[in-house]
Each structure stands twice: as C-alpha cells, then as structure tokens.
A and B are shown apart, each in its own frame.
Chain A
C-alpha cells in the first residue's frame, strides 16, 4: 500500500461521516500493525476485495457509536440487525468510493458482518494491515485496510 492509496481511504472515511452523518469525524493518520492483529470492536463490517487488488477492508465500531450514527441517519429502531446492517454499509460505502481512484477492477464483495469477537483472524496472513483511526463525537472506531 502506498501513502497515496491509503489517503483514498482516509478521504473516503472523512467524506462518509461528513455527508451521511452531517458531522465531521477526526480521521487520523494510518499506521501499520507490526505485531499481532488489528483490534476488533463490537460490530465489524468486512468487505472482501478481489480483482486487481486482493485482501479485505473492514470497519469496526462500538454499539454506542453505531446507535448515534443510526440516529443521525434518521433511524428509530436501534436493533442488533440494524447495527449489523449499518456497520456493513459503512464498510461498503467507503470501499465502493475507493473505486473512484482504484478503478472498476477494484472488485468489492457484499459486506460480511461479525458481531463480537471473531473465532479466528479476520485479516489474511502475510498481508500488512493499516489501521485508520476514527474519532467521532466521543466515540472511537477504525477502518482497517489489508490489501496486497
């Protein structure tokens, strides 16, 4: 991953919160996970990437953050199903927007959602993961980009 490529995901994340939630998020600089695996929160939406690039992009957030985000979207039903739906949709929208720079050979899957701690590693082996920290209101979340 190059710095310019990572910037696509930083911009996509910034654009998502500003447009969908009508409230800017503080999106930090991406950092490389050197040891262990990137952190997972209560809900994680995972997009598998195929084509020119291979790997995954995931968005992971807490239930309180997703609750506020649902409210900002005008949703009234704060159900587990809607939390899962939203966390997948955020991952989908940020990944889909990345095709503006990566092109249509950056093929993305429908979201897969994990609630709670996964059984095994989410990220593929032998591929470096970059974490983009997101602070929005009083909540923290992450976008993890793991592409070959």
Chain B
C-alpha cells in the first residue's frame, strides 16, 4: 500500500457512542474516515459504496454479526484490513474472526492509545 495516500476507514459498531469514540480517538494520520454502520447488513452496503481499505468491526450486533460480516467484506475485497473491536474476550472468538479474514483484535474497553497502537500494528502488517 502507498504510505503517502490516506487509507479509507469504515467503523462498524451497533453503539453510536462507540462509533463516535473510535472516530474521535484514532490518531492515525494515514486513515481518512469515510463512514460508519450500525450492523453487518448496513456495513456491507456502505462497504460497496465507499470501498474502504480499513474497517473496525464489532461482533455482537443485530441483523448480521461481525463474524459473518467479516467474511462478506473479505469476499468483496480480499485485501481489506479488518480490526475486530469487541467485548468478547475469549480466545475462540478471536481465532474464529481471524479464520474468517480479520487481521487484528482489540478488546473493549480500550484506551485511545490502545486503539491507535492496534491500528498502527494493522497498517504495519500491511506493509
């Protein structure tokens, strides 16, 4: 990925408060916020319209959960980078999300620093 061009960021979480917190808190200059969705179905629609490069993804959501949504987004754009941001703290969930195509996992609650570090690590992994 070209480091000079900002990457498009989409935020998926059923909590408006959490979506706004992630939007405000990420201090990664390489990311440009393009939109947010409150469930997996909305996320797939928004993803097709905005074609983001990076997605933060909650898991427990109505309509379509984050695990299923990850699989769909990767099917549309295999190179998308997905950071799971979820309260589900068990290892099995993290492993399942990675199997479906997620690239990182951040457990809620988190500090601003932890969010920025997780996104930086995600982007470093992408090269």
Interface residues of A in 1-47 (CB under 8 A from B): 15-16, 19-20, 22
Is there an interface contact between B20 and A75, defined as CB atoms closer than 8 Å? Answer: yes
Q: CA separation between A70 and B16, bound complex, in Å?
A: 12
Neighbouring A residues of B16 by C-beta, 8 Å: 81-82, 85
Is there an interface contact between B108 and A96, defined as CB atoms closer than 8 Å? Answer: yes
Neighbouring B residues of A55 by C-beta, 8 Å: none
Q: Determine whether A99 belongs to the interface, using a CB cutoff of 8 Å to chain B.
A: yes
Contact mask B83-107 → A, CB, 8 Å, 1/0? 0001111101100000000000001
Is there an interface contact between A110 and B60, defined as CB atoms closer than 8 Å? Answer: yes
Is there an interface contact between A96 and B15, defined as CB atoms closer than 8 Å? Answer: no
Residue of A16, A86, A92, A100 ringed by the most chain B CB atoms within 10 A: A92
Count, A-B residue pairs, CB within 8 A: 71
Shortest CB-to-CB span from B28 to chain A, Å, is 17
Is there an interface contact between B111 and A19, defined as CB atoms closer than 8 Å? Answer: yes
Residue of A nearest to B59 (CB): A96
Residue among A20, A70, A93, A100 making CB contact with B90, cutoff 8 Å = A100
Neighbouring A residues of B60 by C-beta, 8 Å: 92, 96, 108-110
Contact mask A89-115 → B, CB, 8 Å, 1/0? 100111111111011101011100000
Q: Can you show 25 pairs from A to B with CB atoms below 8 A apart?
A: A16-B109, A19-B110, A19-B111, A20-B110, A70-B17, A74-B20, A74-B21, A75-B21, A81-B16, A82-B16, A82-B17, A85-B15, A86-B15, A88-B15, A92-B15, A92-B87, A93-B108, A96-B60, A96-B86, A96-B87, A96-B108, A97-B108, A99-B90, A103-B90, A108-B60
Contact residues of A with B, CB < 8 Å?
15-16, 19-20, 22, 70, 73-75, 81-82, 85-86, 88-89, 92-100, 102-104, 106, 108-110
